[in-house]
Amino acid sequence: MKVSHVGRSAAVLAIGALALTACGSDNATGNTNSGGGSGESSGVSGTLTGIGASSQQAAMTAWQNGFQSANSGSTVQYSPDGSGAGRKAFLAGGANFAGSDAYLSDDEVEQAKQQCGPDGAMDLPVYISPISVAFNLPGIESLNLDAPTIAKIFKGEIKRWNAEQIKQQNPDADLPDTPITVVHRSDDSGTTENFTDYLHKAAPQEWTKDPAQAWPSEYAAENNKGTSGVVSTTSGTEGAVTYADSSAVGDLGTAAIKVGDQYVTHSPEAAAKAVEVSDQAEGRGEHDLAINIGRDTKESGAYPLVLISYHIVCSQYDSQETADLVKAFENYVISEDGQKAAADSAGSAPLSQTLRDQAKAAVDSITAKG
């Protein structure tokens, strides 16, 4: 697929504080904050149904509460069944929108035309957050790891925490002779696709598998469903390691990953830098805002293990009521109020004004069929 450079002004994110809080469910942070933000009334009514990524569930809760408080006749339902399940339901006509940590594939773009009309669907970036390599080693809060080492850990080739490859990058750490227990997602997951995309591009010799929503069966290990599932399993297993949205890892230790000649820790600033130097996918619809993240960047201060979570919506809906409701809700989600609500609740990095403007133009282009 052809790509063009996103450009500094289009992809730079406004920076919000990253609040790492404990995870108790598929609400990624366990935060029940109503989200603040006024969610200016749009005079719409009806029920919207969304299915998708568990990573954005805390943000979705804030968006639901903010929007519904301003639009009392409206209800937004969201089931955090995973990115793959969300896209499948959306493409089958079982959901008005999908939440997904991966944008539509070329095949899915074509499938979407059956539900959404000749102009198909649009990928709208709504939630941006680092993914952490998170581990349970009492007394150790951070480790330095390069991409080849991470790949070998998750393939099961590095089996103990005091292995030489880990020791060389952490000479001052008191590494235990504890077996490594890999914990991965059991469900089709956009977080898995983002993580394996990072490994494939940043450590191509060690990780030869193509990026995928499903964890490779050859490397099967301990597993659980959803963001909260893998964090829960890792938290309860000394020596365990997983990958999860950074907002959800709670008290687990996390890895600083090697980028160029330095190790970079996860943060909204570093996630913003990675998106800034990435490319926007071409050859898609006029208002599709899919972004190809530069996983192998050497840019100083960039953290390329980052996910961009999308709302996937139709360019056309069967009824004017549904079109108006989708437009009203998504305009709130991408608004300054909506993005602040997500940042406060989930610790995500709010979209820049430029990227919000691009998303608003896409949302405003939604129409009803006929």
pLDDT band (50, 70, 90) for residue 39 = low
Mean pLDDT of 290-311: 93
In this structure, the strands spanning 46-52 and 97-100 are: parallel
Query: Which DSSP string do the residues of 33-61 spell out, in sequence order?
Result: -------------EEEEEEE-STTHHHHH
Distance of CA 43 to the CA centre of its chain: 31
Query: Which DSSP string do the residues of 138-157 spell out, in sequence order?
Result: TT--EEEE-HHHHHHHHHT-
**Residue 357: C-alpha distances to residues 11, 114, 135, 235, 352 (Å):** 11, 28, 38, 40, 9
Q: What is the mean pLDDT of the chain?
A: 88
C-alpha torsion sign, points 10, 16, 22, 24: negative
214 pLDDT exceeds 90?
yes
Q: What is the pLDDT of residue 17?
A: 35
Alpha-carbon span 101 to 91, nearest angstrom: 16
Query: In this structure, which amino acid lies at residue 247?
Result: S
The answer to whether the beta carbons of residues 38 and 318 sit under 8 Å apart is no
Mean pLDDT of 43-64: 93
DSSP three-state, residue 246:
helix
pLDDT digits (tens, 9 = 90+) for 21-35: 323 334 343 333 333
List the one residue out of 276, 340, 281, 279 whose CA is nearest residue 303: 276
In this structure, how many other beta carbons lie within 10 angstroms of the beta carbon of residue 11? 26
Using the structure block, give the residue that is written with the tokens 């830098």: 273
Query: In this structure, which amino acid lies at residue 270?
Result: A
Q: What is the pLDDT of residue 28?
A: 43
Mean pLDDT of 109-117: 95
38 pLDDT exceeds 80?
no
In this structure, how many other beta carbons lie within 10 angstroms of the beta carbon of residue 96? 23
Mean pLDDT of 129-136: 95
